[in-house]
Structure 1
């Protein structure tokens, strides 16, 4: 694998100062000497900038940011109670995390996923992806990410829908685009009849951004079926609790 022939190229990439952020928790029981069979998944190992830290689960539970507690823990337990309980009683946790400079391929993600798959083969029982508020059993994770040609961007990102400030309108937004070093998406003022269209639009925009694209402030976006273009409005920061990321906002026309 070389820079001239990447496994996962980014055809829309142009240089930028963004950084991709990866964070995963792997729960299970592992040998004292950790040997990860990542080459089984065509991964040479973790890319530079991403590291593994090993913790006893009982020790990590004392940390204020322990992900199986607080609001996130409640979400995970509600959505996947058996897997959440299994993760809570797992003896160990491997935390895989770090930052990657923006680049012309997603090979850093490809290689990291290969390491995660290898960890499931040597004692991992579940994987938490806090950026998309999701906890997967080993089988669930393999089904979602170990697919021919690689899982599409939609599998790496969460699309949320909530009531907006305007009555009978919804707010559609994403979480998880930090994995690609790109802003999340925020679409306000969506009528109920247009939710499917807004969701499909977000999927297309996620694809564009994950493949290296950018939106500039004031850029107009034409959407099939809408008489008025939407306008990109960048904003947010990593401290924004709704995204933990910057975002590009769009307002659905009235």
Structure 2
């Protein structure tokens, strides 16, 4: 028996002209006649606009954008050496990629994740999500994403902390919200003592945007425990290497 797809709603959806980007590499050994058991995971197959391309792994190794070399390759190897070795040894690579118009449900994500899960059942050994700079082995991917009712939005996004230009302050920001057709988040000049609080706020804002919320220029945001307001400033571009996306910035309130 196969699971019946249930709608993944976006109850706060507000239309936008942003585009959704889905982009994954699946490493493994696949038969020539590839039958993907996506319906097993309540998926109707890849949504229109998202395609699957197959490559011999050796044909990609010299490609300038090959993800398992250079700075990204070193980062992935350091983060999970086992998954990295499995990916490097795989003879085949499937690239799942596509852009979609913003929409009022997350069914496109459910269907794509079901295809990825099916690919792990028919020879996949590792999945790379370049939007969050993360490489999963098969077991790790299943733990992370095959959650009843769908993995929480936080699982699809990377939250990072870097030093801010101002001493004693941090920059908390995200990567990966293009999967939801929303800008990433940038919380600037966060006092180091409040970095954990800012990270939790990021998690909440990630969830709101994944469920459809949009922030407009000048929109105030009141946060419990923070004096003053955070003011939204959307901007940036898709070419920004820190986000690989547009972003909405919030300056942390300055206190005496």
Q: Which residue of 2 aligns with 1:144?
A: 144
Q: Tell me the CA shift for residue 16 of structure 1.
A: 1.6
Deviations 1:82-110 (A, max 9, x none): 21111111100000000111111000000
Q: Is the 8 A contact 1:51 1:97 kept in 2?
A: yes
Deviations 1:115-134 (A, max 9, x none): 00000000000000000000
Q: Which residue of 1 aligns with 2:39?
A: 39
Q: Which residue of 2 aligns with 1:160?
A: 160
Q: Which residue of 1 aligns with 2:190?
A: 190
- Structure 2 SS opposite 1:232: strand
Deviations 1:172-197 (A, max 9, x none): 00000000000000001111211111
Q: Tell me the CA shift for residue 233 of structure 1.
A: 0.6
Which has the larger displacement, 218-227 or 151-160?
Answer: 218-227
Q: Which residue of 2 aligns with 1:63?
A: 63
Q: How far apart, CA to CA, are the structure 1 residues paired with 2:166 and 2:84? A: 36
**Pairing 1:8–2:29 present:** no
Q: Is the 8 A contact 2:12 2:208 kept in 1?
A: yes
Calculate the aligned-residue CA RMSD, in Å. Answer: 0.9
Q: Which residue of 2 aligns with 1:237?
A: 237
**Normalising by the residue count of structure 1, what TM-score does the alignment of the two structures yield?**
0.97
- Structure 1 SS opposite 2:104: coil
Distance 1:148 1:6, change over 3 A: closer
Deviations 1:49-81 (A, max 9, x none): 000000011001111000011111110000111
Q: Is the 8 A contact 1:6 1:105 kept in 2?
A: no
Gaps of 5+ in 2: none
- Structure 2 SS opposite 1:86: helix
Q: Tell me the CA shift for residue 6 of structure 1.
A: 5.8
